[in-house]
Structure 1
């Protein structure tokens, strides 16, 4: 996230706003007709993999995918360098997700076609942070650079959750924010991130008390426990529902209108430490609007990286296929409005 400046975010969101009619299936464009995206996901994914592909398709491009090491030549011992060099000869742009931190940078260093980070182990998930910030701005009626003074609670796995790492670094471009970090000690946000945020003029509060942590905040950003990244022998699962937010807790301690966000997937099994299903019908629950925003944000990113952002309207036309007025039966705020 350190590569971004506030002006970059403002430009990206300006283009994202122009992508909304295409993302919402009201209009179509063929600006990337003939271009091919290589979607290389060496780690499980639903939302990111499908939304990257759908975003590229909505711009008129084609998508080729590989999922998991078992279905790639890396299972035969091929290096990152060789894989990236070979694939770059087939594709115009790559999206890479890899379980090892820094592996995506290795892909980028070996080739000359653009590479977008789809998540690298416990490191970062930059495009998730971009769509999270876009969502936060829309939910609060604000723009990048105008979030100063907000109180934001981040709850759950703050140590291994790469979405939190990327989002806090991105939010650090704002001024005078307060981050309330709510987690058990074993999963608390890394010390180096706390230090950096404070050096940039932000207030960081650490607590393991959920009720106090989410009281009097503007936004709650909850995350699941990254079970796949926990050290062997960890007992963090014993925390059970200690960090679970349900409708009763929300009504008891939160300000009216406090926005609820989550990068998904959320663990809906009994005892999971996340957002309960009884929040599904609440208008403050933004998690599905959040995922929907992944399409226009990633469309804008593709258009800017491939230098066609100002040509999108050249092939604009009305979309003629059927689309529903709402995407979920419990949607309480019409995203098409």
Structure 2
């Protein structure tokens, strides 16, 4: 236990029925296999060709105390598509926390109205505090620069599918991870969960002020995988099967960070990929990306590249989040038995 009585990551149970999903450390290969099988079974639901109502009557409490578009809407859409309903609040202004209410009291009250909670909060470790007081499963939708486990799951699901289409596997893959490696919680979770796979090689590049913290080099090494810090984007992507880009988390930069970080141009663009001989590489990004000029992010001029998977990632996110709810609420085995054709037409 931590000093405040909240379970530490190493004490968290393996994710399953009735359990919170707070960290990728709750995952193992068997859990991934089951989650991904459920996600694939739910693909027709995500595509709108079939309907599944296994969560009919269930209520999701959606608590987002930090800006979000994809994560919030995909979680809420996932619950709706399984027949449930959603109650939500966004930001601190419209929450009783603006009146001084504690995380504990908020979690206990709202969990009494709900059958599951999805929580995003700007402070690392805060979602675990919600879970400690909740009477229903809590899904971590991002806690500061800590973790984002559902993003890691959809990243893995996408990565596996993209590599399989090329006759490859995550086991033995070379993955370049670029951008803000210091504050990027998606990177932190992804590096940890990929420790479940064998012979993965990471090639990481970020500006010095946004370099990957030393602890993650240690975790990768402890998992038996290999990690190299590269001096340029070109060096990082040259042998990569997958290129994973992240935007600069400007909202997390301190004044000191802002003075140290002077970024110009694109992180990745058409010229860089062509010059490196990587126009067909699998390109991933957790989104949002900053598409403005000189934003040091993934340039829109690669959007017609066949390996660009960023929108397949977002589509897969809906499937994976439906699977998470199905397993947390103990109805995953009912999915295939409850599929029926949709009564509307969707292109």
Indicate whether the TM-score tops 0.5. Answer: yes
1:14 to 21, 32, 37: 37
1:175 to 198, 204, 229: 198
Q: Secondary structure at the match of 1:165?
A: helix
Mapping 1:16-31, distance limit 5 Å: 16-31=39-54
- The number of residues matched between the two structures is 322
Deviation sequence 1:82-141 (CA, Å, 0-9, x none): 001110110000000000011100011112200000000000000000000000001111
2:313 to 290, 304, 322: 290
How far off its partner does 1:236 sit? 4.8
1:79 to 98, 102, 127: 102
Q: Is the 8 A contact 2:176 2:202 kept in 1?
A: yes
Alpha-carbon distance in structure 2 between the residues aligned to 1:102 and 1:142: 37
TM-score, length-scaled by structure 2: 0.90
Are 1:53 and 2:76 matched, yes or no?
yes
Are 1:269 and 2:292 matched, yes or no?
yes
Q: 1:236 to 1:156 in 2, by over 3 A?
A: farther
Q: Is the 8 A contact 2:159 2:170 kept in 1?
A: no
2:136 to 106, 113, 129: 113
Structure 1: stretches of 5+ with no match in the other structure:
325-337
2:220 to 184, 197, 200: 197
Q: Secondary structure at the match of 1:239?
A: coil
How far off its partner does 1:314 sit? 3.8
Q: Is the 8 A contact 2:41 2:335 kept in 1?
A: no
Are 1:239 and 2:263 matched, yes or no?
yes
Alpha-carbon distance in structure 2 between the residues aligned to 1:211 and 1:103: 37
TM-score, length-scaled by structure 1: 0.93
Superposed CA RMSD in Å reads 1.5
Q: Is the 8 A contact 2:280 2:305 kept in 1?
A: no
How far off its partner does 1:316 sit? 2.3
Alpha-carbon distance in structure 1 between the residues aligned to 2:277 and 2:117: 42
Q: Is the 8 A contact 1:261 1:290 kept in 2?
A: yes
Q: Is the 8 A contact 2:163 2:170 kept in 1?
A: no
How far off its partner does 1:152 sit? 0.3
Deviation sequence 1:26-81 (CA, Å, 0-9, x none): 10011111100001000000000000000001100001110000010000000001
What residue in structure 2 maps to residue 327 of structure 1? none
Q: Is the 8 A contact 2:41 2:336 kept in 1?
A: no
Deviation sequence 1:286-315 (CA, Å, 0-9, x none): 000001100110001100110111112343
Are 1:258 and 2:256 matched, yes or no?
no
Q: Is the 8 A contact 1:5 1:173 kept in 2?
A: yes
How far off its partner does 1:319 sit? 1.0
Alpha-carbon distance in structure 1 between the residues aligned to 2:76 and 2:85: 8
What residue in structure 1 maps to residue 86 of structure 2? 63
How far off its partner does 1:252 sit? 1.5
